[in-house]
Amino acid sequence: MVILFDLDGTLIDSTEAIVESFYYAYEKMNNKNPPKKEMIKSLIGYPLDVMFEKNGISKEQKFEYVDRYKENYKKISTQKTVLLPHAKEAVLMAKEIATLAIVTTKTGKYSKVLMQHFDLMKYFDVLIGYEDVKNPKPSSEPILKALDELNKNIKDDVWMIGDTILDIQAANKAKINSIGVLSGYDSKELLLKFTKNIEQNVEDAIKYLKFK
């Protein structure tokens, strides 16, 4: 069995670090019209350049904003990120029954730093970040790359656990199972809209993870 975890909204809450770094980027770029916090939060899970572009930054400038964002994020990420409640317990339980990997649209370098900071990286055999693929989620490429590096395939009882429709869409395209969690940024209604066979998925997840 293989369990693939998303990061933001699934295992960690880095909202404060993300929002602060967004505002830092706007300040450094002398942009006096930063988006509201709720707008930034609604896009967490997408690649940074997509987030900036969806907030009105031009294609020509968006990577400059990303660079400014990263200047701040790398300084504050560990101090302003927390594990979500029961995230560590979930990882430890999952490790007892499955091979684990992380599949995220965060930069892999910063993701590894965070997981090492929380002493969780040792439980994951592979971490696929934004820079590791040409097409991030909702493409199936990050999932398939993780399975390739694990020397697994979609027949090996694979599950993607995430908090946004990007995770669910990527799982659907990769033809693997998915579980949408409500600890993050997308609503139950939206996750249900994109999740296939959710009742069976939940039943199987309860059985596998031994929840009561």
The closest alpha carbon to 139, from 111, 110, 174, belongs to: 174
Q: Which of 6, 13, 163, 167 is catalytic?
A: 6
Give the integer Cα–Cα distance in Å for 53 and 63: 9
**Rounded Cα distance, 142 and 172, in Å:** 13
SS3 label, residue 86: coil
Distance (Å, whole) CA 37 – CA 30: 18
d(CA 202, CA 75): 38
Residue 6 annotated as catalytic: yes
Rg (CA), the chain: 17
Cα 127 from chain centroid (whole Å): 11
Distance, CA of 182 to CA of 63 (rounded, Å): 31
Q: Which two tokens stand for residue 81?
A: 């990120």
Which residues, in sequence order, are CB contacts of 60 under 8 Å at separation 6+?
Answer: none
Residue 143 has phi, psi (to 5 degrees) of -65, -45
List the catalytic residues.
6
